[in-house]
Structure 1
């Protein structure tokens, strides 16, 4: 993977780590406005996951890099995203496997795991590149922000 510079996110934590990974997956967007993307097609997605926190775990890690790869690559690589009905839906627009929804889903999977750890770091950003010219950022709202 080429070294890249990603947009940064401001946070109050002492530690920040970033994990780059890629996965190949196919999808289709079941909306008339999606044009050609209504048809099944594939991408090599490039993701960068940013995790931050103040405490390290019993191994001296904020989170193990290999675990982040396993969570995402292990689940999505060489799959049809639409077939993952736990994460995506062909009936609800906010669950179509668009770049935005895939980025949010990566956040949800990572944060769910982090919530189970003793040091409880936070996933503060997911950068997801779908093509060489198109990417999405997902940043969760701060826990104390109200919608």
Structure 2
């Protein structure tokens, strides 16, 4: 079982859900300045998704834990992140760096949440690439206090 303390994002929502999971994937950064990361290599990514909201759905969930995991795990696990349609070898804003992968995870999760009647919000994606390196993505403009 993962035991991890994550940075807290202040908010005024009634409910906060956090989902931890991992996925293994390869990637490369298609720029000379990326050094060794320009070569294909892999990581076991550990992620934490924070979802908040004020209303539960008809089953009593803010959002189903399994659905949050499946959105990311089924899409990226044991694949090459660069091959996913969300990423590009042409634009730096879409290279699969840890920063960009965390933002893309947010976009995938929030797109799903936007379709739910109770309208939960993803307010934080924590993505650990190695034991010593991680990134946090927090969308701007969310209800925070």
Fold match by TM threshold 0.5: yes
- Determine the structure 2 residue equivalent to 1:137: 136
- Determine the structure 2 residue equivalent to 1:52: 52
Aligned pairs for 1:84-103 (under 5 A) are 84=84, 86-103=85-102
- Determine the structure 2 residue equivalent to 1:74: 74
Give structure 2 stretches of 5+ with no counterpart.
none
Quote the RMSD (CA, aligned, Å): 0.9
Aligned-partner Cα distance in 2 for 1:31–1:13: 41
- Determine the structure 1 residue equivalent to 2:115: 116
**Off by >6 Å, runs of 4+ in structure 1:** none
- Determine the structure 2 residue equivalent to 1:4: 4
Aligned-partner Cα distance in 1 for 2:108–2:114: 10
Aligned-partner Cα distance in 2 for 1:44–1:143: 29
Aligned-partner Cα distance in 1 for 2:142–2:41: 36
Aligned-partner Cα distance in 2 for 1:34–1:8: 31
Aligned-partner Cα distance in 2 for 1:31–1:138: 23
TM-score by length of 2: 0.96
- Following superposition, the deviation at residue 143 of structure 1 comes to 4.4
Secondary structure of the structure 2 residue equivalent to 1:12: coil
Aligned-partner Cα distance in 2 for 1:12–1:101: 27
Aligned-partner Cα distance in 2 for 1:12–1:91: 39
Give structure 1 stretches of 5+ with no counterpart.
none
- Determine the structure 1 residue equivalent to 2:30: 30
Number of equivalences = 143
TM-score by length of 1: 0.95
Aligned-partner Cα distance in 2 for 1:17–1:3: 16
- Following superposition, the deviation at residue 2 of structure 1 comes to 2.3
